[in-house]
Amino acid sequence: MAEAILTGAAANVLSSLGSYAIQHIGLPSDVKGELRKMETNISTIKSVLLDAQEQQMSNHAVKEWLERLKLILYDAEDLLDEVATEIKRRQVESLMRKVHYFFTSSNPLVFRYVVGRKIRDIGTRLDEIVLQMNAFKFVVKLVERPIQITRREETSSFVNSVTVIGRDADKEKLVRLLLSPGDEENVAIIPIVGMGGLGKTTLAQLVYNDDRIQKHFTKKLWVCISNDFDVKSILIQLLQAGDPNGDTSYSNERLEQLQIRVRSLLAEHKFLLFLDDVWNENRVEWKKLEDLLITQARGSRIVVTTRSKTVASIVRTCTVEPYVLSGLSDKECLDILVKWAFKEGDGSSITEAIPETVRHISFDLNTNCSFPRQAEKLRTIVYLSNRWRRFGSPVEPAIASFRSLRVLEGLGLLENIGKLKLLRYISINAPTDLPNSLCMLLNLQFLDLSESNVYQLPEDFCKLISLRFLALTTSLTRLPKQGIAGFRHLTSLECLDIDGCESLNLSDDDDLKGLRSLKKLELRYLPGLVNLPKGLLDAAATLTSLEIGGCDNFTSPSESVLPNLLSLQSLKIEFCRQVASLPEGMQRLTELQDLWIYRCRLNTSRYRKGGEDWPKIAHRLPNDVSTVRWTKNIAAKAAAQRFAQVMALQTAEDDEDQQLYVS
């Protein structure tokens, strides 16, 4: 891991040294010479990192050398990012046609002087590192082995419940959910979703081994999926888990033989299947597996653990909401840290097991906030507890001094957040307003306000020219004076999620204009949305996913807009009760892979073969399909599983539940 970090940092610095920003900042010739020498030194160092990584295990001096190198590379990376930020500042200044701007370093002469001085300092430190490197006589490896993406260690159903802390309540809820007789579907699928490290697998193991579960289900199986979602491999694991003493040479069998074996294995059983660590977001691949399992005995259950909300939404059955796993309490986190970091005493309290200095920092942040000096180099702060709010006064000024910070999650925004100008990622539980200094973060790429109480965006919001992902909150009541049209300056924006902004009108032709990099757009619970704005056509070459939900006044995807979004691969419209039809020209959407219309006024009979609107979707079906089956049972999707592109169209008895699904 350390090797990957250093190699990555070195590669980033080398890339930045050849960037447009460093070439056009106007540095004097002697500083440019220093940059060329820096590039040579880092290239040489990078070539010996593999050998240094191996030697540090037995040589403490090498380990210290690597630590010093890391600090220098981080400083170089920070400096080059500052240069890139200055170039962006000038671009924004030109864009907004303002003579004066907000950075104190806006004087070009002063900025070039400061940068030149820092480059010389880093160059001197690098020269010393190279001298030390030569003394170690590292072997230069001209061809680096590729950095391997480490697959997560395979999991099993075993867990030592005695060592598990803080998941009793979650276990009880899941057990009750699994034993509940309320779901009459053949097989209910329950996703457990949460960020990595929260304990999804541990929770699943606890449930799997519960005595009540043992008695209720006649067969239990555990399959670890991880990075590879291959239906054939999963079926083989199912067979091996279901019959450990049986034939293990299933790999030579064809998929048809395997699915027959699996159906036979599960026949007449009320089974419980755990699929651990699912990453696959391909709906088609998931449906291939689901169709093999959902026709089994009533009352059977499938539990899926995943980090991805997209996976959770794909695998869940209609009547079961994903189980969202939350973080542990402060005390539970502390209990875990103590268990791992300190020897457990003979009945003494947790606080007594912690050294006094550690206890002081742990429990008295409100009176003492002396962070270690190396914390100034922190690049990521992720905090899931509300304790930061209680300790906000002393903690936030300290965080504002972490000028190398790239990631900030779980905190309210600081009034002087503009000082953290290298920030890339912000996900916050913010107060009711955002400081305008946020708009100084010209490197900001990810801004998630979906869990905040923000009611307005700052006036200079359109200056965030590096922004790639933006999620707007349900509390938003007003936009800057330029309105949503001001977003046209956010030319790097790839994902936009607007949810529950009741006073927001998105139907003007200029709305969403200029977003030429937009790939994914989600519009939910926006009563002011009547039709798609023509400005969205600026994203026609890039937009691949469009989701519209809960917009009561949305009448129809505009005929002049939707059919011209030629890159669209996924279209989802649900709970929009004014939508009665799809527009003409849908045939032009040749890239469309998934079409989902749910709880709208769509007349499904018009979309049957021979119906008036059949031509709008016919191009999405395999050429050898002679009929489209309309069904009353979700299990009938299996009728189309023999096709590479799974197709299913379904309707329910109640018109309110009618839906159209083509995938």
Integer Cα distance of 430 and 662 in angstroms:
40
- Residues 274-317 pLDDT 10s: 999 888 878 888 888 888 887 666 788 999 998 888 888 888 76
In this prediction, residue 386 carries a pLDDT of: 46
- Residue 220, pLDDT > 80, answer yes
Integer Cα distance of 7 and 19 in angstroms:
18
pLDDT confidence band for 153 (50 / 70 / 90): low
- Residue 424, pLDDT > 70, answer yes
Paired tokens of 52? 């240094």
Rg of the chain in Å (alpha carbons): 29
Integer Cα distance of 360 and 348 in angstroms:
18
| Helix H or strand E encompassing 259 | helix 255-266
Residues written for the chain:
663
* Residues whose CB falls within 8 Å of the CB of residue 153, separated by 6 or more in sequence, listed in order: none
**Residue 523 pairs with which residues in a beta bridge?**
498, 548
In this prediction, residue 267 carries a pLDDT of: 84
- Rounded to an integer, the average pLDDT of 342-363 is 34
Paired tokens of 511? 């709305």
C-alpha closest to that of 305 among 203, 162, 209: 203
Q: Which segments within 126-168 are labelled E, that is strand?
A: none
- Residues 366-420 pLDDT 10s: 333 333 344 455 655 555 444 444 444 444 555 666 777 777 766 555 667 788 8
Looking at every residue in the chain, the average pLDDT score rounds to 73
- Rounded to an integer, the average pLDDT of 114-142 is 87
C-alpha closest to that of 354 among 338, 366, 369: 338
In degrees rounded to 5, what are phi and psi of residue 341?
Answer: -95, -25
- Rounded to an integer, the average pLDDT of 587-610 is 84
**Residue 587 vs residue 341, higher pLDDT:** 587
Verdict on whether the full-model pTM lies above 0.75: no
CB 341 within 8 A of CB 332: no
Q: 594-598 and 659-662: which strand pairing?
A: antiparallel
- Residue 46, pLDDT > 70, answer yes
pLDDT confidence band for 160 (50 / 70 / 90): low
- Residues 70-79 pLDDT 10s: 889 888 888 8
- Residue 573, pLDDT > 80, answer yes
Integer Cα distance of 242 and 595 in angstroms:
36
**Residue 327 vs residue 640, higher pLDDT:** 327
CB 599 within 8 A of CB 574: yes
Integer Cα distance of 157 and 262 in angstroms:
20
Weakest-pLDDT range from 429-438, 481-490, 513-522: 481-490
Integer Cα distance of 244 and 225 in angstroms:
18
In this prediction, residue 329 carries a pLDDT of: 55
In degrees rounded to 5, what are phi and psi of residue 332?
Answer: -65, -40
Of 82-96, 351-365, 590-604, the range with the highest mean pLDDT is 590-604
**Residue 498 pairs with which residues in a beta bridge?**
472, 523
Of 12-21, 38-47, 291-300, 630-639, the range with the highest mean pLDDT is 38-47
